[in-house]
Amino acid sequence: MIVKAYPIDMVRATDELGGENDGNCMLEPFVGQEFDSSDAALNFYSSYAQRVGFKVRIGQLYRSRTDGTVSSRRFVCSKEGFQLSSRTGCPAVIRVQRRDSGMWVIDLFHKDHNHHFEHDDGGETLPTFQVKAPRSAKLMVNVSHRRKIHLFKDVEHAFSCSSGIIDSKHLNERGNVIPPRGEPCVGLEFNSANEAYQFYNAYAANAGFRIRIGQLFRSKNSGSITSRRFVCSKEGFQHPSRLGCGAFMRIKRHESGKWVVDRLKKEHNHDLEPQPETQKRNLTVSKRFTGELNGGFEGKEPVNLNYGIVIKRTRENKIGSDWYPGLFEYFQSKQAEDTGFFYAVEVENSNCMSVFWADGRSRFSCSQFGDTIILDTSYRKSAYAVPFATFFGVNHHKQPVLLACALIAEESVESFSWLFQTWLRAMSGCHPLSIIADQDKAIQQAVAQVFPRTLHCFSSWQIRKKEQDNLNMLDETFRFEYEKCIYQSQTAEEFDVGWNMLVGKYGLKDNAWFKEMYIKRNNWVPLFLRGTFFAGIPTTDNFESCFGAAFNAQTPLAEFISRYEIGLERRRDEERKESLNSLNLQGFLQTKEPVEEQCLRLYTHAVFKVFQKELLHCYRYLGFKIYEEVALSRYLVRRCENDNEKCVVTVISTNLTVNCSCKMFEYEGILCRHILRVFQILGISEIPPRYILHRWTRNAEYGTLLDVDTDGGPQELKAVMLWSLREAACKYIEAGATSLEKYKLAYEIMREGGRKLRWQR
């Protein structure tokens, strides 16, 4: 039997409707039922679910080992699993499998649910169908107003409390606040895991700490969840705010269906902060929701519950409300193609706010090149631009590489803190060494809170603008002396002397901006930035935006997505071309130095040119030993025709550790001319491995995988490995397609590799 499962927006289910549709809408799924496509199966199951009184989520998909196409899909009840507090581990599911004929057939159907059905009027209702936007090949998103409303309802029902926060929607609307039972103890029983969570959360709020959802344990036989842990928010060490606290409560499901506390540890390794009595009746709940890889939500947004009355605080939002449904549709389509795709949405008072996303390739790039990042918010230069921000870094070809994207709803500490915290979750806790971002107080505070060990360098375009606003009345002489002080000072003392001279000579003692810039000198003056790694990014110049000025306030969503994908593909084409150049183009040696040959072999083409320039310049310098004590020596290295251009190089001979006062290696990761000159004096013919940064080598995209942090679990590691292998395969394909001979060679290499993989398996 073949069921004609019509698109949802083309079917009405009413008792008065006759014809073939009437029978289809009243059908119940059964094993062996056939559909033309998996979408048709989803639409049919969704209409059945709405008639019965539950909602559907898209579950796991399975791919063919032969060609990678989707061979099977699961559609589950929205209350399947326990990732969210609103879920009950419902087992209801249908699974459809693609046959050789191209038809999709139900091969598994579990009808029973473990929860009450929800009808809008409290009783049985006829199905009301939601309009689902088609996903076209060009990703042209067209979502009706009715669909938009339903989508937000789905988001609201999917809210999570995994950060240790009470589900305020359930508290307010259903009145299921768990009455106080005193302190937790072993043997305490609960009707559900959600009830246990709410009890422990209420206890934690009174005691003065916060909780998170920890590990869960499943049955080896049925796969159902048998045990859950709720831990102190300071458990573990994945974030600087966490202290490895051991306090937790574990619950275990008994055969009776009850959940019982079987393990408990109350002792904390940090101070508790109990609320004053006057505040205990006003429970402040954090609930800023975040949609993750699986489309679920969890979060933290301030909501005050005062005797059941929700007091909402309104925040500005620069993103059009009509954008969110289309964005979610786009993100879900990308997830189906890319297992490593991540997205998150900040929700405040049930309203969507900022949005963050990164595909698998960008997340893999971060594992290689996330040591220094630029947050490009150049949309702020225009009042009429889409609030589209990008995170990007510098790859091993010294090109900008996209790491993540965001739409920023408002420029507040709250929004930027959420953005950076989401970055950490998406990038497996990657804390950059440095970040270039605007000087705004909101960004400064957010960086200090989320990246406490990261140096924040102010973006130069904003400094230039503020210089014009605050110093435009001063003449060219001031400009010359001002730039000399900033860009030519070699020591902190020299900078202070030059700055104080400017203050006294031009009467800037009471200039508030000038005072502030002196206080913040470590964040923008090149002298104070040299000791931190920036991958050689010129912090005093404006950098090119990844997408240019492609978007404005009139840009429709479909056009935004199209332009975004075109710009992203253009960037990645440039990366691939440069990788091919490094493989195919051979640099020229200009000296007989062994270190030049060593670096030609190891570095990418672009990085080798930087090193070669330093090597050639080192011949213009003279070096003199000025200090020696046991294994430590210091050399004064100065330019032959300019005595004022000089640096001090320190060498420890026991382990061949070197550093130069110019700090080029610390800043760019490439040895400077002064150190290379001292190597020549000492007769060192090979650069020690510690001074060849792996991120600059030809094999940077492969070797970093060996050191990747796998705390994110097997799914994270699989996504990283997948993109690494895809990138390698793309290079073989591009190189092999240039001629018939290379094609045969590339094909033979890949076939031989395939034979070895089969042998190992």
Reading the block at residue 336, the tokens are 């189906």
3-state secondary structure of 105: strand
Residue 628 lies inside a defined structural domain of this protein: yes
For residue 449, the domain's CATH number is 3.30.420
Read off the pLDDT of residues 537-573 as tens digits, 9 standing for 90 and up.
887 666 666 665 556 656 778 788 888 888 888 888 8
Q: Where are the beta strands (DSSP E) in 427-578?
A: 434-437, 455-458
Least confident of 101-110, 119-128, 304-313, 559-568: 304-313
Does any domain span residue 652?
yes
State mean pLDDT over 186-202: 88
Q: For position 24, what pLDDT does the model report?
A: 41
Task: Please state the rounded mean pLDDT for residues 393-399.
Answer: 91
CB 445, CB 464: distance < 8 Å: no
Q: Which helix (H) or strand (E) holds 574?
A: helix 557-584
Both 454 and 465 in one domain: the answer is no
Residues 210 and 220 in one domain: yes
The interaxial angle of helices 323-337 and 145-157, nearest 10 deg, is 70
Tokens at 290, concatenated: 């975040």
Q: What average pLDDT does this structure show over 611-633? A: 93
Least confident piece of the model among 148-152, 480-484, 616-620, 756-760: 148-152
Answer yes or no: is 347 within a domain: yes
Long-range contacts of the stretch 99-103 (C-beta < 8 A, 24+): 103/2, 103/34, 103/35, 103/36
In a domain, 539, yes or no: no
* Residue of higher predicted confidence among 23 and 643: 643
pLDDT over 70 for what percent of the chain?
Answer: 74
* pLDDT at residue 748 greater than cutoff 50: yes
- Residue 667 and residue 621 share a domain: yes
**pLDDT on residue 391:** 94
Distance CA 163, CA 197 (A): 11
Domain shared by 362 and 374, yes or no: yes
Report d(CA 142, CA 557) in Å as an integer.
9
Instruction: Output the pLDDT for position 177.
Output: 41
Same domain? For 683 and 726 the reply is no
Question: Whole-number mean pLDDT of the chain?
Answer: 77
On whether the pTM is more than 0.75, the answer is: no
Indicate if the pLDDT at residue 674 is higher than 90. Answer: yes
State yes or no: pLDDT of 164 exceeds 70.
no
pLDDT bucket at 70, cuts 50 / 70 / 90: confident
CA distance to 307, 373, 417, 440, 446, per residue, from 412 (Å):
29, 20, 8, 9, 9
Both structure tokens of 277: 């009595």
The β-bridge relationship of strands 211-218 and 400-407 is: unpaired
Comparison of pLDDT for 739 and 636, the residue scoring more = 636
- 288-333 confidence digits (pLDDT tens): 333 433 333 333 333 333 333 333 445 678 787 788 888 998 998 8
C-alpha closest to that of 152 among 398, 353, 405: 353
With tokens 């550790």, the residue in question is 657
Give the H or E element holding residue 558: helix 557-584
Q: How far apart are CA 200 and CA 161, in angstroms?
A: 13
Read off the pLDDT of each residue in 250-279 and give the average, rounded to a whole number. Answer: 80
More confident residue, 22 or 716: 716
The token pair that represents 15 in the structure block: 């008792």
Of 26-35, 163-172, 471-480, 533-542, the range with the lowest mean pLDDT is: 163-172
pLDDT in tens, 363-383: 888 888 999 999 988 777 665
Highest mean pLDDT among 274-288, 658-672, 730-744: 658-672
The residues, any chain, with a CB within 8 Å of residue 353's CB and separated by 6 or more, are 315, 317, 319, 345, 346, 347, 409, 410, 415, 418
pLDDT at 275 over 60: no
Contacts of 361 (CB under 8 A, 6+ apart): 340, 572, 723, 726, 727
Nearest C-alpha neighbor of 665 from the set 636, 703, 692: 692
Q: Are 722 and 656 in the same domain?
A: no
Give the per-residue pLDDT at 746.
85
| Any domain includes 489 | yes
Which pLDDT score is estimated for 299?
Answer: 35
Q: Phi first, then psi: what are they for 300, rounded to 5°?
A: -150, 95
Query: Is residue 173 in some structural domain?
Result: no
Dihedral (Cα; 451, 455, 456, 460), 10-degree rounding? -160
pLDDT tier, 496 (very low <50, low <70, confident <90, very high otherwise): very high
Q: 79 and 227: one domain?
A: no
Tell me the helices (H) and strands (E) count for the chain, helix number first.
Answer: 23, 26
Asked if pLDDT for residue 678 goes beyond 70, the answer is yes
Q: Which of the four pLDDT bands, split at 50, 70 and 90, describes residue 727?
A: low
Tally of CB atoms within 10 A around 662: 19
In a domain, 155, yes or no: no
CA atoms within 13 Å, Cβ hemisphere of 360:
21
CA distance 547 to 565: 10
> Which residues face 647 on adjacent strands?
637
The Cα–Cα gap between 593 and 134 comes to 62
Give the separation between CA 417 and CA 425, rounded to whole angstroms.
13
Lookup: tokens for 174: 């259903």
From the list 14, 165, 180, the residue with the least C-alpha distance to 85 is 165
167: helix, coil or strand?
coil
With both helix axes pointing from N to C terminus, report the angle between 476-488 and 492-505 in degrees, rounded to the nearest 10. 160
Q: What's the average model confidence in pLDDT over 260-267?
A: 91
Q: Side by side, which strands form the sheet with 400-407?
A: 297-299, 289-291, 342-348, 351-358, 400-407, 388-394, 372-376, 434-437, 455-458
pLDDT at 385: 63
- Final residue before a domain boundary, out of 110, 143, 176: 110
Strands 189-190 and 104-110: unpaired
Per the model's pLDDT, the better-predicted residue between 544 and 229 turns out to be 229
| Strand segments (E) across 55-182 | 56-63, 70-77, 93-98, 104-110
Q: How confident is the model at residue 752 (pLDDT cuts 50, 70, 90)?
A: confident
Placement of tokens 């091969």 in the chain: 107
Give me the sign of the Cα torsion angle 502, 508, 512, 513. negative
Rounded alpha-carbon distances, angstroms, from residue 266 to 45, 203, 212, 239, 246: 46, 11, 15, 22, 8
Same domain? 431 vs 551: yes
Together in a domain, 357 and 421 = yes
Q: Check pLDDT > 90 for residue 708.
A: no
Domain count, the chain: 6
Same domain, 500 and 631: no
Say whether both 433 and 556 belong to one domain: yes
Q: Which of 265, 287, 306 represents a domain boundary (last residue)?
A: 265
Do 475 and 384 share a structural domain? Answer: no
The neighbour count for residue 746, using CB atoms within 10 Å, is: 19
Looking at 242, 265, 288, the residue that finishes a domain is: 265
- Condensed to tens digits (0 to 9), the pLDDT of residues 516-530 reads 999 999 999 999 999
In residues, how long is the chain?
761
233 DSSP assignment = T
Structure tokens at 39: 């979408």
Can you give the pLDDT at residue 707? 44
Q: How far apart are CA 142 and CA 133, in angstroms?
A: 6
Please give the residue range of the domain that contains residue 508: 461-518
What's the half-sphere exposure (Cβ side, CA atoms, 13 Å) at 307? Answer: 0
Residue 643 lies in a domain: yes
Does residue 35 sit in helix, strand or coil?
strand
- Each residue's pLDDT tens digit, 625-667: 999 998 999 999 999 888 788 899 999 999 899 999 999 999 9
DSSP 456-489: EEEPHHHHHHHHHHHHTTS-HHHHHHHHHHHHH-
Single out the residue of 636, 668, 638 nearest to residue 649, CA to CA.
636
